[in-house]
A and B are shown apart, each in its own frame.
Chain A
């Protein structure tokens, strides 16, 4: 059932010119992980831009069907990498989602996440988050994903401190990216003010690639990812590992952080065998854009494709530098291992750095 367009294009009006600049060349199809899986035009970037335009002009009324299609995107930025007109595709999508949310088509899962953030400051609804507060020299934003993984956070902080990087950690709330990307724009605007109070820093480093991007784009904070500082101070080691490296989308296409993780691994004596699609052409892990909450099967199918690519390299370990990539790829790797007997271990780069520091100390 289609609802009246209550918003009358309130969110998409700003992107009218952009949508007209889309000449519908379909170059965005090239490596879109969703199109590669489902192969319907409607599900690719061009289709979503056309639907968004239809919502703006009133040719299309918001509906659950359109909402489902618009939420079927991992926000991997591959379309933006391909678009020769340099359109702000993801901004168009998040605002199209806002039209649908305002028209009453948010999913219960999304509403649940947003409620969690509003009530507890994190996406999990965890009221007992223990923030490893400390006073240092540079503000460190941990982010929900790492706050939900306290051992990993501890490890990262220890790495930073061993390298002489003294982080300041304060009690924090979610950066707000889920609110923005899922189309809860009003909630995000209110959250932004609260965030500023909790995290009043102009410069910061962050553990999560997505948070790093959003601190910059959403909060205008001069943010760097911790790996960019770690590289400068990391001693050499000789781990003798042979791995493949998965570039998180927010690194390779968002922040253009492509060389730093590789240089870190090389410094630690790790040989990298690149996958067929690497660096700015890295394939999505299937975990971004809110898709994990709305289409787990699609997310998993996308992740499995990436694991198959990793298996083709012949190595037995895949390293990445994003907690979401790690989670989705680990799950996919496990399923492939159980069903087909082909095995690859998935690790996050902080584990390798930690090993490397121990190795460097020992030698």
Chain B
């Protein structure tokens, strides 16, 4: 252990069965879906708000870092405990406290899994609109931490749009209630909205009030193929500019198409780009109208083989294929491994095609492979770097590629992260982008967490050299 932690004290708070400090547990909890790995000193599993408060008071008094974690599916190192300390595994706090269809809201604990919440909401005719691809395992707490959005963000927005209130345990152990139970709220600072996307650096969310949406009665999904990315990008931006609000507008480039075909046998065509679009609504007519408009825009932009389906099984197959895209990238090519680097960004709609082309150009220049895909209807692009992770030269190339990609994104008015958050692997790019507001962020952080125990060295405090901030989890050279 790198710091002195009173395990007995923690056991007294949460119970013997809810603490783990074996080296194997610490090793497992040292990583998430990012490239980084750093072990905590102990993993603690609270089961109630009171327990979170007591742990926080103890940690704050003794200046012990605390990192909250749900499924640990974050890609930028949000839940990697850079400074050791306590990892709070929030999965035990998984109750759905209240569902109120007449108030169009529900209240949940942070460990509730997104898809499981939707299963419970379904009989009421509602769903929780942010739909991250990891919805089957990600927790509401994690979604709040990163302001997750997902495939339907083009229509429904992100987690911040759907979170209207919350209870938060602050660094000093105080419990505060933020926001309200209403969609509109002009009552002072919007502190609940501030917490969303703060990646556990300002407080620990222990209860969230979520706005829910009615499940649309009808939907249809289409797939359009494009011979070049430019046409696909134009199709996307023209669809949005035309005032159409599809419920999904996804781009997949050739790398993504190949990987998905290799991993999942989906039989997608061998083209440069595919756009998946979906329209949903309460009437068949509104859905058909929108689908026809989108088809027309596809045609204008040289879309080929446009297919539309109303069959639920077929739509589920396409949707599932898209949701599994990121892990499928591991199957793109033998010898290349997927790394969550430059994993997401958001750009102005008119710049999507240019950005995707630029990503490929930067990848080629730095001798790595990059895939571009994502919820482009919301201006959000995902990339991953595929490379031989055993070679130092590849990591150097990746580092350069990450810098160049974000420099470009900033130059065209884009932002470092659309939904995955910053953690620390996007820290340097984020700090460059937000240079003039870093002072404000530090002031807020210091006001709420003067001892800097809440997920330290993330966001604006992240290290300048992300590559060497922790051991990378690909230590192949270590034992060869």
Contacts and interface: CB of A to CB of B under 8 A. Distances in A.
A95 to B, nearest CB: 16
B474 interface: yes
B72 A41 contact: yes
Contact of A21 (B28, B137, B324, B337): B337
A42 B26 CA distance: 9
B440 interface: no
A24 B31 contact: yes
Contact of A60 (B20, B23, B134, B330): B23
B22 A65 contact: yes
Interface in B1-51: 20, 22-25, 27-29, 31-33, 43, 45
A47 B340 CA distance: 19
Contacts of B338: 21, 23
A84 B328 contact: yes
B73 A26 contact: yes
B137 A42 contact: no
Interface string A61-85: 0010110010000000000001111
Interface string B449-480: 00000000000000000000000011110110
Nearest to B33: A24
Interface in A135-166: none
The secondary-structure label for the interface of chain B is mixed
A41 B137 contact: no
Interface stretch (A48-56, A217-225, A349-357): A48-56
B263 A63 contact: no
Contacts of B23: 2, 60, 63
A93 to B, nearest CB: 14
A86 B479 contact: no
A41 B28 contact: yes
B137 A59 contact: no
Interface in B58-92: 71-73, 89, 91-92
Contact of A20 (B20, B263, B389, B478): B389
B134 A51 contact: no
Interface string A225-243: 0000000000000000000
Given A60-B24, A85-B331, A23 B33 contact: yes
Interface residues of A, number: 37
B32 A24 contact: yes
Given A42-B20, A51-B27, A86-B263, A26 B72 contact: yes
Nearest to A69: B24
Given A27-B137, A27-B327, A60-B24, 13 more contacts: A20-B337, A23-B329, A25-B326, A27-B324, A30-B136, A41-B89, A42-B24, A50-B28, A51-B24, A59-B27, A60-B23, A84-B327, A85-B328
21 contacts: A20-B337, A21-B330, A23-B326, A23-B338, A25-B326, A26-B134, A26-B137, A29-B137, A30-B136, A39-B91, A40-B25, A41-B72, A42-B28, A51-B24, A57-B475, A58-B478, A66-B24, A84-B325, A84-B328, A85-B327, A85-B331
Interface of B: 20, 22-25, 27-29, 31-33, 43, 45, 71-73, 89, 91-92, 134, 136-137, 263-264, 324-331, 337-338, 340, 389, 473-476, 478-479
Interface of A: 2, 9, 16, 20-27, 29-30, 39-42, 46-47, 50-51, 53-54, 56-60, 63, 65-66, 69, 82-86
